[in-house]
Structure 1
Amino acid sequence: MTTHTKNTTNGESPEITLYTNHACPWAHRAHITLRTLNIPYKEVIIPLDRPRDPWYLEINPRGLVPSIKITTADGKLKDEIITESAVVSTFLAEMFPDSEFWPRSEEDPLMRARINFFVDTWFTKVNTFMYPILKAEGEEKETLGSQLVAAVKKEIEPLLENAGPFFGGSEHITLAEAMTAPFVIRYRAYIDGSLMPASLLKGLEALPNYSKWSKAVCGESSVTYVFDGPEISKRTAERLAKMKAEAK
């Protein structure tokens, strides 16, 4: 168990335990949110390469990461369990309000709606290509890579028109980045590891809004502090090779 003891400006901090795995992009969302909002937490690593231990299935019967356990100083929450990455991250953003990261609904409902739309667009129009590209080979990999670039150009590039450099003109990372950054940074790592075609990076860098935004995202300490690109690429390659061997 690792303990992170950053300060917070929200009074006495609750006790938070994050059940995670640093290789998981969904758990990465929770890490980004915790780091950005300076929320202290304890960390428990859950191995994902073997069946979950019974004790963890009692915490999260689905066996997925991330999960958090939270107890507040006022006693209103006592060992409460929150699961699923988007729910965990949004819950934390509500518990530790920061208008630059995730404005309260009464403060800026339009910005909240735009963040939600951006995240939904990313996962329904763009990120659906990631795993097919990883599994494809040769010409099919190149074709899918071109389709991903086309989707970013059509769906994401206009939404980043006023990025400054982060979503919505913000100079600071927002919930939009916390939700999408784990995949943005993996695109670069997978390209470096030859799991995605180099032409994909060339195509994405030709998009001015996305290029500026993604570079800012991938340079953010809250995104990079638990991210080991070469190791994640290596593990992904090994998993893909195993899947292909088992399919024969």
Structure 2
Amino acid sequence: MSEEPEKKEWHIKDAELVVTPALPPDFQISLHTHDTQDGESTIVELKMGSHPAPKITLYTSYDCPWAHRSQIALAELGLEFETVIIDLSVPRPPEYLAINPRGLVPALSYNGEILTESGVISQFLVDAHPSHLEKTSREEGGALQRARYNFFIETYFSKVAPHVVKAGIGKTSEEREQAATNAIDAIVKEIEPLVQNAAPFFGGSEKLTFVEKKKAPAFWKWANAVSKEKSVTYIWDEEATAKRLLARYKKLREA
């Protein structure tokens, strides 16, 4: 015999219900309301029952750091998904171009709906499955937290990442050394202040968040903690990745 769905009651005002923390994404909600005698509140009966798990397919390449963002999000959310590896060293097959005409990875099929671009996919997953990664906008402090996460991400990609890339593809050793110095300086100036309260993760969180001792001790402490997370390392092959990057940078320098 199946169990009756859990029932709860809340007294709410203005016909608005806010549940904190957010309910798990695999629950369906049925609301039944009626006015109370004082006319100021409504009694809400909440019935919860499991939804079928979403059918997820991730089209990815372990060689692509951008695709890692989506894989980390899926792992942190504990979602089951099928992985389809796309070989980036050869022209994309017509079957994949039908999914993503740009031929880039990652791409995600979520119950048959196709999403592309790592940032878009990661944000969708976080929004569809509320968790420790990021508060919802309706939770207390959620909008501010999300704004700060987005600022951190934008700061890294606009202020630090260009120097990191140039440190790999600079035509001369002097250019590469200067770019590496500029990258470190940008980390000290732009990123270090943003991770001062990391404990050990961004925003003082004890778990990995949506973002995620030398000249910048707080940055290196934060980066070291992130790099040890299982959701980050389970597809990471440091030796193979370094070999591929060095070969790619050499090819770009010679172009």
Deviations 1:131-172 (A, max 9, x none): 111012422222111110110111100011111110000000
**For residue 140 of structure 1, what is the aligned residue in structure 2?**
175
Distance 1:89 1:96 in 2: 11
**For residue 164 of structure 1, what is the aligned residue in structure 2?**
199
The structure that is strand-richer by fraction is: 2
Distance 1:85 1:227 in 2: 17
**For residue 154 of structure 1, what is the aligned residue in structure 2?**
189
**For residue 69 of structure 1, what is the aligned residue in structure 2?**
109
Distance 2:253 2:157 in 1: 25
Q: Name which structure has the greater RCO, CA cutoff 8 Å, separation 6+.
A: 1
Judge conservation of contact 2:169–2:252 (CA < 8 Å) in 1.
no
2:231 to 213, 222, 229: 222
Tell me which moved more, 216-225 or 10-19.
10-19
1:122 to 123, 136, 156: 156
The structure that is helix-richer by fraction is: 1
> Size of the alignment, in residue pairs?
205
For structure 2, list consecutive stretches of 5 or more residues without a partner in the other structure: 1-23, 27-49
CA 1:227–1:169: 2 relative to 1, 3 Å: same
**For residue 87 of structure 1, what is the aligned residue in structure 2?**
120
Distance 2:176 2:136 in 1: 42
Distance 2:253 2:155 in 1: 30
Name the Cα RMSD after superposition.
1.5
The TM-score, its normalising length taken from structure 2, stands at 0.77
Q: Does 1:48 align with 2:88?
A: yes
Q: Percent identity?
A: 45
Judge conservation of contact 1:23–1:227 (CA < 8 Å) in 2.
no
Distance 1:205 1:61 in 2: 44
CA 1:243–1:153: 2 relative to 1, 3 Å: closer
* Residue identity in the other structure for 1:210: F
**For residue 22 of structure 1, what is the aligned residue in structure 2?**
62
**For residue 103 of structure 1, what is the aligned residue in structure 2?**
135
Distance 2:154 2:248 in 1: 28
For structure 1, list consecutive stretches of 5 or more residues without a partner in the other structure: 1-7, 72-78, 178-203
Deviations 1:181-226 (A, max 9, x none): xxxxxxxxxxxxxxxxxxxxxxx84311101101101111111110
Secondary structure of the equivalent of 2:53? coil
**For residue 36 of structure 1, what is the aligned residue in structure 2?**
76
The TM-score, its normalising length taken from structure 1, stands at 0.79
Q: Does 1:112 align with 2:146?
A: yes
